[in-house]
């Protein structure tokens, strides 16, 4: 192993390699600085054309099993059993089919957003859970929402300030529903940079302020 003291670069001597090593490397001489440049590649490199004909006759499950095969399922079973022992629990006797069902639940639940995981198995109207998540005033509206026919339709809601909250707006957005309404001042998040009521009363008639959360479309 040789070292260039000036540059701090190590050169490893490989047995059988007779290529001469550079006598000296000057980084300052080799670097060309460009103040207006970007980190784009020096040479454009195109990906080779691909054909997906081999997947046309495969089902969704078959394509999924190309990524999560039997070896990965066996590993998940093994690690689940090890974690059970770590938590001082008896052997859960988890099977490979149960792991596959669990993964399927995780995937499908991502297409149907609900206020909590409990709602996927809740056979009641969920009023108590709605009160905890959205408040007592909004809970009846959420129960009504759960009973709507054809929940996949793009419903639009105009809400009174009695029900409106940022959490409700975000939930309706995840469901793909349109929403509009008024807010009570005490329900505006403290992090929202809107002027309070007293400040607005000192402004000229017709004045307004606005704030947008682009990540949650609020």
Percent of the chain with pLDDT over 70: 73
Under DSSP, is residue 66 helix (H, G, I), strand (E, B) or coil? helix
What pLDDT does 74 receive?
Answer: 94
Tens digits of residue pLDDT in 108-127: 887 776 666 666 766 655 56
Q: For the residues 196-201, what does the mean pLDDT come to? A: 86
Q: Rounded distance, CA 106 to CA 117, Å?
A: 10
Tens digits of residue pLDDT in 139-151: 888 888 888 888 8
Asked whether 152 and 175 are in contact (CB, 8 A), the reply is: no
Tens digits of residue pLDDT in 144-192: 888 888 888 889 999 888 888 888 888 898 888 988 888 888 888 888 8
Under DSSP, is residue 14 helix (H, G, I), strand (E, B) or coil? coil
Question: With a threshold of 0.75, does the pTM exceed it?
Answer: no
What pLDDT does 77 receive?
Answer: 93
> What are the start-end ranges of the E strands in 26-133?
none
Q: Rounded distance, CA 187 to CA 162, Å?
A: 10
Q: Rounded distance, CA 165 to CA 148, Å?
A: 20
Q: Rounded distance, CA 159 to CA 79, Å?
A: 48
Q: Rounded distance, CA 194 to CA 186, Å?
A: 12
């Amino acid at each position: 192993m040789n070292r260039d003291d000036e540059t701090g670069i190590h050169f490893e001597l490989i047995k059988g390699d007779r290529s001469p090593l550079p006598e000296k490397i000057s980084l300052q001489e080799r670097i060309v600085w460009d103040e207006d440049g970007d980190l784009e590649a020096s040479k454009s490199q195109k990906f080779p054309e691909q054909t997906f004909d081999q997947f046309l006759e495969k089902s969704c499950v078959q394509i999924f099993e190309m990524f999560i095969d039997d070896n990965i399922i066996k590993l998940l079973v093994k690690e689940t059993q090890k974690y059970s022992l770590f938590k001082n629990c008896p052997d859960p006797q988890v099977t490979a089919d149960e792991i596959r069902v669990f993964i399927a639940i995780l995937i499908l639940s991502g297409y149907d957003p609900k206020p909590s995981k409990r709602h996927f198995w809740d056979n009641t109207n969920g009023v108590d859970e709605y009160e905890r998540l959205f408040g007592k005033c909004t809970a009846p509206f959420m129960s009504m929402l759960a009973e709507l026919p054809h929940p996949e339709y793009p419903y639009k809601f105009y809400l009174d300030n009695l029900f409106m909250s940022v959490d409700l707006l975000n939930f309706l957005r995840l469901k793909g529903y349109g929403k509009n309404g008024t807010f009570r001042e005490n329900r505006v998040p403290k992090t929202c940079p809107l002027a309070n009521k007293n400040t607005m009363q000192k402004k000229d008639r017709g004045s307004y302020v606005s704030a947008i959360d682009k990540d949650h479309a609020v």
